[in-house]
Amino acid sequence: MSRRSGVLEFAVLGLLRESPMHGYELRKRLNTSLGVFRAFSYGSLYPCLKALVQRGWLVEEPSAQPEEQLTPRAQAGSLAGRRAKIVYRLTAEGKEHFEDLLSQTGPDTWEDEHFGVRFAFFGQTSRDVRMRVLEGRRSRLEERLAKMRASLARTRERLDDYTLELQRHGMESVEREVRWLTELIESERKGSERAGDERTRRPARETGSDRPSSGPSDNTDR
């Protein structure tokens, strides 16, 4: 399986985890929510869906829309309509597989092609995994930036003004992403610290609420 098809499978599983969809709706979501897939066509998407069905991670179901609710024109072509209205739903095995993919933090998750898709599903990802992916991505870009600077220093005198400007533009783009990643990492750390402080304070409050009253004792037996 190629890296690009693996990224597409990840995105399809992630979107179907939110809700079942038919192929056209799924393609729209890939195009609008995950811009990296704008180049994908039905010719790429449907073989991916079929492969996921064969592995038991998706099931195909007919649309829930009854035929009597269709327009007369749609009813006239109802056979074609039924073929076009197959809904894809994530199975329990598919959900488990996607959660396993979400937990991965290896080098593939830092690369240009995969990182954007992983980031799109950070809302479904645990904080510690998000941190490792962000830190890995930043480390990879810092390595790239160091190589770009070294290359520019060696070749600066041989480059014309336009090529030199293009090299600078590329470096500035990487520098901006490194700053953005640093801000995200700091935000994640602060969120983790706030969560830890809240967990620390909560038992103290609960203990205080259970403490016996220190008011005057009852002297009714005197």
85-105 pLDDT, tens digit per residue, is 799 999 999 999 999 999 999
List, for the chain, all residue ranges whose pLDDT scores fall below the cut of 70. Answer: 1-4, 36-42, 64-84, 195-222
CATH architecture of 3-108: Orthogonal Bundle (1.10)
Cα 151 versus chain centre, distance: 33
Torsions phi, psi of 16, nearest 5? -75, -15
Report the pLDDT value the prediction gives residue 74, as an integer from 0 to 100: 44
Alpha-carbon distance of 95 to 61, in angstroms, equals 17
Would you kindly state where each structural domain of the chain is located, as residue ranges? 3-108, 126-204
pTM attached to this predicted model: 0.74
Report the pLDDT value the prediction gives residue 72, as an integer from 0 to 100: 52
Give me Rg for the CA atoms of the chain.
Answer: 27
